[in-house]
Amino acid sequence: MIALSFAEIAAVTGGDLRVAGTDTAQTVADGVVDTDSRNMRAGGIFVAKPGAETDGHRFVGAAVEAGAVLAIVEHVVDAPVSQIVVPDAVAALGALARAVVAKVRAAGDLKIVGITGSNGKTTTKNLLHRVLQEEGETVAPINSYNNEVGAPVTMLRVTESTRYLVSEFGAAGPGSIAHLAGLVEPDVAVVLMVGLAHAGGFGGIEATAKAKAELIAAARPGGTAILNADDPRVWAMREIAHDRGMNVIGFGQGADAEVRASGIQVAADGTRATITVAGESFPLHLQVLGAHHISNALAAIAAARVLGVPAEVAIARIETVEVAERWRMQPMGSDRVRIINDAYNASPDSMAAALRTLAQITGPDERTVAVLGAMSELGDSAGEEHDRIGLLAVRLNIRRIVVVGPEARRLYLAAVGEGSWDSEAVHLPDQEAAFEYLRTELRDGDRVLVKSSNSVGLRHLGDRLGELFS
């Protein structure tokens, strides 16, 4: 973080400063800002966030031992550190992020990109980060730091020398993207897609679309909206962008896409396509598995181009990315038994895309195996969507369908009902049972997809299988 005095931090957070020891109101903090005491370093600010399972106030002492010089708290803690007492620690974190980014922006040439969408945010963020980091200092989220805590923590990593801030915005509910994006007012706003991910928390897909459109409404007037022209709900957001005087760039495969992909071919070593930008065409070999990631690459190329990076340069840098993120279409195992661990998140769209990729990259003498867990946060559509994935797996001729956990039983029943009989589909109660089954069932030539929502935890099963067959 940029250097700020305790008095300045108290002012922007609306808190009551209580100095300790030899500190004064003019003492400066310039280290990391975080809610996790384990991430503290010298000069850092620890934000004591109350939580459902634990309370950050319990860890103020540990944060001080790790180097924190200031704590933002909701009540005074008995610890040898200066403290700013605020009504709401998370709100104070956001207020501090807003002030720091505004100060850096006013003093220099900081450009901010905001990314949202039901799927693909983290992959797009990582591809764009790879492109921009060679242009200048670039701050981007670690993992999926895209909520009311993770997004501000990322924003607070900017310094006077930061040239680009790439922010990823997830939606906990209506208004959450508006709040997070409003902290920084992105110059470039990217909306990837509207799907059923987390639709249960919004009341349906149309409400989800309104939530994603909050990014465009919160972006800087006169900036640029980069929209998926193949998704009608996203493409309709161009009206909001036009009302705000924003330039609109479409990406996709259709005629409305200014940044367009054609000739997509999926193979075990990645996905190839021809990328056309402003009438010029370039070949792309994306090492990240799956045709669905071509759309994410297009969004990154479009955003980079707005920021002055030529398309051919962006493509060359994107081609060096081997894995988008841990547990996202991550190749593991060996040529003998290849594991694709894609169990960090799952929605109906991403589940279907991953199954299609598995079918596309498996040769005629190899066997497809799908290890599937539940998709969470689908609300009233959960049963129907699990049925749909079970049917799709059979219609894609996935040879072994291994369904894990009671919440995914409907997926198994749908597969059986569609014709996956004679042990082609099995239902197992938990990860341990699945591991024991798979360690003897898998054989040379198998191509295995492990896919579930994060809460199910099948990513750990994927790690175990990857190690077993490495």
Tens-digit pLDDT profile for residues 245-304: 999 999 999 999 999 999 999 998 999 999 999 999 999 999 999 999 999 999 999 999
Does residue 356 contact residue 177 with C-beta atoms inside 8 Å?
no
Largest CA distance in the chain: 75
Distance CA 65, CA 346 (A): 39
Distance CA 83, CA 94 (A): 17
CB 148: neighbour CB atoms within 10 A? 16
pLDDT digit string (tens) for 295-340?
999 999 999 999 999 999 999 999 999 887 888 889 999 999 999 9
pLDDT of 413 higher than 60: yes
Which ranges of 82-155 would DSSP assign to H, the alpha helix?
Answer: 89-107, 121-132, 150-155
Q: How much is the pLDDT for 198?
A: 54
Percent of the chain with pLDDT over 90: 86
pTM above 0.85, yes or no: yes
> Is-same-fold flag (4-87; 330-468)?
no
**Nearest Cα to Cα of residue 208 among 324, 91, 381, 353:** 381
pLDDT band for position 203 (50/70/90)?
A: low
Question: Counting runs of H as helices and runs of E as strands, what totals does the chain give?
Answer: 16, 22
**Where are the domains positioned within the chain?**
4-87, 108-318, 330-468
CATH number of 330-468, picked from 1.10.274.30, 3.90.190.20, 3.40.640.10, 3.40.50.10440? 3.90.190.20
Does residue 254 contact residue 230 with C-beta atoms inside 8 Å?
yes
Check the annotation: does 363 bind a ligand.
no
pLDDT of 199 higher than 60: no
Q: How much is the pLDDT for 200?
A: 52
4-87: what CATH class? Answer: alpha beta
Q: What is the mean pLDDT of residues 160-179?
A: 93
Beta-carbon contacts of 108 under 8 Å, excluding residues fewer than 6 positions away, are: 160, 162
Check the annotation: does 119 bind a ligand.
yes
Check the annotation: does 457 bind a ligand.
no
Does residue 72 contact residue 15 with C-beta atoms inside 8 Å?
yes
Check the annotation: does 120 bind a ligand.
yes
Check the annotation: does 114 bind a ligand.
no
CATH topology of domain 108-318: UDP-N-acetylmuramoyl-L-alanine:D-glutamate ligase (3.40.1190)
